[in-house]
Amino acid sequence: MGVGYATNDDAEIRNDLVDYFYCGEEDETVDFWGYNIYSWCGDSSFEESGYDKVVKDFTGFSVPVFFAEYGCNKVQPRPFTEVKALFGDKMTPVISGGILYMYFQEANDYGLVEIEDGKAKKLKDFGTLKGQMAKIDPKGTTFDNYTAKNVELRECPSVTKNWKSSSEKLPPTPNRELCKCMVKSLSCTAKEDIDEEELGGLFNSVCVEQLSHAFNTYYELNDRDSTACDFDGAAELQKAEEPEGNCATLIEQAGEHGSGSVGATPTGGDGDGDGEGGKSAASSLAIPGFNFDVLSLSAYLVCAVVVGAGVVFM
């Protein structure tokens, strides 16, 4: 399975982003790169839109690059004149086409069709795009004939005013057992029967274990007041267990605020404990300066869930 990354065209960090995702160990780099670019509006040009700079920046890049989103709608109806350039001879040697944004009409007015009585009704942009696509004849490369011309990794970016991420160490690999251990050590947790829609409303796109840690932190900061563990019925109190066996080892490896490194899952024992339910054992992993209003969690206990629209799986 190929794993890639799609990003917006942010001038302040775009070069650092590219370097970050293609530096270090080869097996930790992306397999493809997507760009969300809306710089070609109306009847623009290869140079005016900055497409020429994109081609220059990615010439010789080792993995396939494509436009993960394109289709500026500042000029309406959209003429889609960028299609000829995107699939033309100046770009196809470097850029592998693109995905137009978007199919269904929404409030942002980018749609090609709108739904009426359960059926898709074509809008004017649909016909215009169809006409532009019919004019192109891109020259591609078959899989059998493809060979990466440049496999040299990039130099990892340094931490700067605009780029805050250190490239020395990747975030930890998802560890389900660690998440389960952490939840057992809490006094206030999310209810097991919470549905996905309710979860999204409470904490956007995270796993239940992370939500439980947020609930418990709020509960601890409010002096373990029972009313601080409710959240409109989404949370409940439980008897916190002191970590033992595998759980104790995993949480110790994770370290305070997740600053440690969790290795291979220890063997032996089931991680169950018989704690007396005092202060949550996971409080050593508490979030400094936690603000429940913004739910700003560190990525120290990563659960087995895809978080963030930036990661693309193919």
* Domain architecture of the chain: domains with CATH: 3-145 (3.20.20.80), 176-306 (no CATH)
- For position 255, what pLDDT does the model report? 78
How is the beta sheet containing 33-36 ordered, strand by strand? Answer: 95-100, 65-70, 33-36, 3-8, 311-313
CA gap 36, 68 in Å, rounded: 5
CA gap 295, 186 in Å, rounded: 17
- For position 304, what pLDDT does the model report? 32
CA gap 179, 169 in Å, rounded: 21
The predicted-structure confidence for 20-44, as pLDDT tens digits, reads as follows 999 888 888 999 999 999 999 999 9
Spatial CB neighbours of 50, under 8 Å, sequence gap ≥ 6: 39
The predicted-structure confidence for 102-126, as pLDDT tens digits, reads as follows 999 999 999 999 999 999 999 999 9
Q: For the ranges 35-49, 70-84, 161-175, 195-209, which has the lowest average pLDDT?
A: 195-209
- For position 66, what pLDDT does the model report? 97
- For position 193, what pLDDT does the model report? 80
21-35, 89-103, 268-282: which has the highest mean pLDDT? 89-103
One-letter amino acid of 246: N
Spatial CB neighbours of 109, under 8 Å, sequence gap ≥ 6: 73, 76
The answer to whether the CB of 7 falls within 8 A of the CB of 65 is: no
Closest listed residue to residue 183, CA positions, set 234, 253, 222, 238: 238
* Higher per-residue confidence, 260 vs 281: 260
| 213: phi then psi, degrees, rounded to nearest 5 | -65, -40
CA gap 141, 247 in Å, rounded: 51
Q: Is 289 helix (H, G, I), strand (E, B) or coil?
A: coil
**Does residue 204 surpass a pLDDT of 90?**
no
**Does residue 89 surpass a pLDDT of 90?**
yes
Q: What is the mean pLDDT of residues 93-110?
A: 96
- For position 18, what pLDDT does the model report? 92
**Does residue 293 surpass a pLDDT of 70?**
no
Query: Would the pTM of this model clear 0.85, i.e. be above it?
Result: no
The predicted-structure confidence for 52-81, as pLDDT tens digits, reads as follows 999 999 998 889 999 999 999 999 999 999
CA gap 181, 162 in Å, rounded: 36
DSSP 8-class letter at 83:
H
**Does residue 272 surpass a pLDDT of 50?**
no
Percent of the chain with pLDDT over 70: 76
Bridge partners, residue 311, by sequence:
5
- For position 281, what pLDDT does the model report? 47
- For position 207, what pLDDT does the model report? 75
